[in-house]
């Protein structure tokens, strides 16, 4: 992704989600890609799907990334209201 191949990474992530929508690996990667693209709602949705699939064995990193996406989404909405 850092070498300008983020379009390819996004396409592969989307393809992976369509083929394996419950794969923890695919959900984690596409969730991180959504965070990178600042698509907060999508990141929250994917991280929640990941957390749901992991159940009681959800690692702290999943929660941290979900909270980060939620906070960024909230900031984004707050900034949008203040500039309107």
Number of other CB atoms surrounding residue 12 within 10 Å: 15
- Predicted pLDDT at 2: 61
Residue 47 burial by Cβ neighbours in a 10 Å radius (0-12, 13-18, 19+): buried
- Predicted pLDDT at 23: 97
Which residue, chain included where needed, has tokens 């992991």? 54
25-41 pLDDT per residue, tens: 999 999 999 999 999 99
32-80 pLDDT per residue, tens: 999 999 999 999 999 999 999 999 999 999 999 999 999 999 998 888 7
Give the pTM: 0.85
Picking from 50, 46, 68, the residue whose alpha carbon sits closest to that of residue 58 is 50
- Predicted pLDDT at 1: 61
């Amino acid at each position: 992704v850092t070498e300008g191949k983020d379009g390819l990474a996004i396409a592969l992530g989307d393809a992976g989600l369509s083929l394996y929508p419950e794969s923890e690996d695919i959900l984690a990667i596409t969730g991180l890609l959504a965070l990178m693209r600042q698509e907060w709602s999508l990141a929250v949705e994917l991280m929640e799907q990941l957390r749901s699939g992991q159940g009681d064995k959800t690692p702290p990193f999943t929660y941290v990334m979900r909270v980060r996406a939620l906070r960024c989404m909230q900031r984004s909405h707050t900034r949008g209201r203040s500039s309107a």
